[in-house]
Structure 1
Amino acid sequence: MATKPASIDARPSPRTGPAQFAAAYRSVRDLTRALAAPLSDADATAQSMADASPAKWHLAHATWFFETFLLRDHVPGYRLYDDRYPYLFNSYYEAEGERHERTARGLLTRPALADILAWRDHVDAAMADAMPRLAETAGDLVTLGLHHEQQHQELLLTDMLHLFSRNPLGPAMFEAPAASVASAPAPLGWVEGATGRVTIGHDAGDGFAFDCEGPRHDVLLTPHALADRLVTNGEWIDFIADGGYADPAHWLADGWAWVNNERIAAPLYWRQGDGGDWEQFTLSGWQPIDPAAPVTHISLYESDAYASWAGARLPTEAEWESVASSSEPLSGNLLDSAGPVAPQPAPGGDLPRLKQMFGDCWEWTGSAYRPYPGFRPCDGAVGEYNGKFMSGQFVLRGGSCATPRGHVRASYRNFFYPHQRWQFTGLRLAKDL
């Protein structure tokens, strides 16, 4: 297993020098390689759907980012390892020119996985040699590249989960985690949130954040409360048993059309065995569902329907961030090493307190992914990182069991389309007071 990933911080400091950047770089790059270690060349090449990418492509794209935006642009005399690779492994950066079609990434049987790993080694050696220069002249860009790779670590895992789920053999990527002690979760409790004017968003002087997390700004909150934990598998089974997927009264119009068109009757990766017990496909293969663990791999449509069925609603991202700001991002069930990876039941306790704010599964909010007041994308190609996607998507908060520790924070804004659910996406309820 890889070592615990480093927490990456781009705040200017006398202690942030080449050695610190080099250590963070090695930590992140080593974890990616460890995550991919169980995969064969065939495993790493296949693409199971348009939303997913092959593991080999993730390994290559993160390397392309460092070679393109750091070595090519900031190290005089650097020559590309292979001048064909930018076309193959650019993702969506229009400023970097034409690229291979996203939906056809799984057709790239060549270069082989070994060739991609050799390219990674080459770029890693060049980055190590150039780090004294890069730490001084492009430290913020190095940090962006590391957080970018951490995003692809999570995508690598969730894309492999989808790929393996399509295999009738039900292959496992990691050994199964130790089973949690069987116990019923505490009854759902409620924690009252702040009311009135609150300030959310990233403070420009407080470490790294993606551009979409700022500017910091005021919002007005009305009286509300958030559930003290995530919705569980057992509670979702009750929703299914009560006909939740068959009652249009709880569904948004687009969601109801999606449920019927796609014949959705349970979260992604769920199935019922011959005895009627529910099972779930995981990175450790097919496993019995733990009723106390948080439900995951659900869409915004499903989350909104469940909230309606439960007499509640989805939280707004401002409500979520206003309470999450007092929680410790490093405290949750997050990714530390190469497996196992699975959501865990909420910790016990008698008094209602906010649990699982970070880790386990991304929490859908009812907030559209749109720019904050005063948002401006960065100059150059990296300005295409987030802002161009602020249409038709919804915000998720908090990270998941596949999010590397040190990557997420209270202001972090993840975003997906409302029908998507191959990520570790879950639900925390909210209600008006």
Structure 2
Amino acid sequence: MPASPEDSAQRHRISDTSVSLGERLHASRELSLTLARPLTDEDQTVQAMDDASPTKWHLAHTTWFYEAFVLRNHMPGYQPFSDRFEYCFNSYYETQGPRHPRAHRGLLTRPSAEEVRRYRSHVDEALMGLMSDEGSLAPEVKELIELGINHEQQHQELLLTDILSLFAAQPLRPAYQPLTLVTEANSLASETRWISFEGGIKEVGHDGQSFSYDNELPRHDELIRPFKLAHRCVSNSEWLEFIEDGGYVNPLLWLADGWGAVKSNGWQAPGYWEETADGWRQMTLHGLVPLNPAAPVSHVSYYEADAFARWAGKRLPSEFEWEHAAQTTDAANNPANTLGSGTLRPCPASADAPVDRVQQMMGDVWEWTGSAYLPYPGYRPPPGAVGEYNGKFMCSQHVLRGASCVTPDGHSRITYRNFFYPHQRWQFMGLRLAEDA
């Protein structure tokens, strides 16, 4: 992905609430095309596994979202690009009708990537027409546009993680972006420092004063006992110690379902790791590169994170401990390695940061917590189809906090609740250790 000044300005406009909603919408739509530009049309058609989706599908689905929820309902006279796309590019909205099975999205050779680009242009032209008189838009339309921008940012991250899963399955090990920076292949992670946090009754959740997803609400009190948090995420070098000490062959470290996942999937290391005659290497968006020992471990499941914490004699933080620590340390205003940095990979914690600062909380890797993904007290899903966005998934998943190296700038926040099933690991998922004080 190019990191030109123009691209940086584009990404900044999306998260800058001082510019108009229409400008932010336009910038977000352009960024998706920018992210897809290094890919061939063939790259954009295939999915490597059931959890991932083709790039072409991401570009079309985010377009369908605006067509289905904004243009069809709030722009009189709008003519859909193709009624057939309603079936092809709906994701999981039952109220919007039947849809193509997720696991078979890679079979959609039609419409072509070029037709999907024409679809985006058709919808974007209508959206810009709608936004030409932004001041007269009803509040509910503006809210849908804001949701659409954030929805597209989620798919921009998925676009990159899904293309990584595809390229990792290719024998040529292609690079999405050439690696121009020198990797610290022989560097070592700094020694873990433990930061103490006081307990008490603490407010958590979004305050409702700006955009948030419904699963971040309502703000409420939680009892938090005194705890300590590692100043950085667990590193690759520490994970190597876990492997060498038999972490993947010791059933006593694992939850029952986790041990079953190890055996059925043949896990012996994090996702995208490969052991070669020259040492461990890792498939990245820069291709297959030497493993950086100091960088945060990534592409590990909740089961692996939990097993590592047991092996280390620690535990995963609860999502409320994580949020309280992030608020206390002003994590949102610390430098973050997210999409705008252009690195496209987790990077080592800074050796120059103050000794009492918690690092990497809003970038590098999403951090597994020990918390199940459940509704907050008093939570009610929004009415209508938008209510399917989060609420119906509040079962059998776990919460991750923070952001990753491919999270669009300004998309995440301290109260953001990401969630995945405990066996999934194709995202930039890592962990930070905690212990009781």
TM value normalised by structure 1: 0.95
**What does residue 130 of structure 1 align with?**
130
Q: Does 1:236 align with 2:239?
A: yes
The higher-RCO structure (CA 8 Å, 6+ apart) is 1
Contact persistence 2:13–2:23 (CA under 8 A): no
2:13/2:27 contact within 8 Å kept = no
The one of 296, 307, 310 aligned to 2:309: 307
The letter of the residue matching 1:143 is E
Match of 1:6 in 2: 12
**Per-residue Cα deviation, 1:249-301 (whole angstroms, up to 9, x for no partner):** 211111111111211110000011113x1000001110000001000000001
CA displacement at 1:180 relative to structure 2: 4.1
Amino acid at match of 1:387: G
Q: Which moved more, 1:190-199 or 1:289-298?
A: 190-199
Contact residue 6 and residue 28 of structure 1 kept, 8 A: no
Matched residues in 2 for 1:8 and 1:411: separation? Answer: 19
1:235 counterpart letter in structure 2: E
CA deviation profile, 1:52-84 (whole Å, cap 9, x unmatched):
111000000000011111111111111111111
Partner residue, 1:252: 255
Counterpart of 2:12, as a letter, is A
CA positional deviation for 1:8: 5.2
Alignment-derived partner of residue 27 in structure 1:
27
| Closer, same or farther: CA 208–69 of 1 in aligned 2, 3 Å | same
CA distance in 1, matches of 2:323, 2:387: 25
Q: Could you say which residue in structure 1 is the equivalent of 2:402?
A: 398
- Residue 336 of structure 1 and its aligned partner are, at CA, apart by 1.6
Alignment partners' CA distance in 1, 2:188 and 2:356? 16
The answer on whether the counterparts of 1:10 and 1:140 sit within 8 Å (CA) in structure 2 is no
Q: Any idea what the Cα deviations from partners look like across 1:160-213, whole Å, max 9, x if unmatched?
A: 100111111101111114124553222100111230100000111x21000000
Amino acid at match of 2:8: T
Distance 2:300 2:189 in 1: 20
Paired position in structure 2 for 1:201: 205
Deviations 1:313-371, CA, capped at 9 Å, x for gaps = 0000000001112212572100127x541111001136232000101000000000000
1:37 corresponds in structure 2 to 37
Q: 2:159 aligns with which of 156, 175, 180?
A: 156
Equivalent residue letter for 1:97: G
What amino acid is the match of 1:106?
Answer: G
Question: Unaligned regions of 5+ residues in structure 2, if any?
Answer: none
Instruction: Name which of 168, 172, 186 aligns with 2:175.
Output: 172
Which structure 2 residues correspond to residues 292-303 of structure 1 after superposition, within 5 A? 292-303=294-305
Q: Which residue of 2 aligns with 1:331?
A: 335
Matched residue SS, 2:252 = helix
Moved more, 163-172 or 135-144: 135-144
Any idea what the Cα deviations from partners look like across 1:208-260, whole Å, max 9, x if unmatched? 00000010000001111110000000111111111111112211111111111
1:22-421 aligned at under 5 Å gives the runs: 22-133=22-133, 136-137=137-138, 138-181=141-184, 182-204=186-208, 206-275=209-278, 277-325=279-327, 326-328=330-332, 331-336=335-340, 339-349=342-352, 351-421=355-425
> Contact 1:10–1:208 (CA<8 Å) still a contact in 2?
no
For 1:197, what is the secondary structure of its paired residue?
Answer: strand
State the TM-score, normalized to the length of structure 2. 0.94
The residue type equivalent to 2:216 in the other structure is E
Alignment: residue pair count: 424
Taking a change above 3 Å as real, the CA distance of residues 422 and 177 of structure 1, as seen in their structure-2 partners, is: farther
Q: CA deviation at 1:149?
A: 0.2
Deviates more, 1:395-404 or 1:246-255: 246-255
Q: Contact 1:9/1:208 (CA < 8 Å) preserved in 2? A: no
Shift of residue 92, structure 1, vs aligned partner: 0.5
Q: Which letter maps to 2:260?
A: A
SS at match of 2:283: strand
Alpha carbons 1:232, 1:295 under 8 Å: kept: yes
> Structure 2 CA distance, aligned partners of 1:225 and 1:271?
33
| Cross-structure match for 2:432 | 428
Amino acid in structure 2 at the alignment position of 1:3: S
Calculate percent identity across the aligned residue pairs.
51
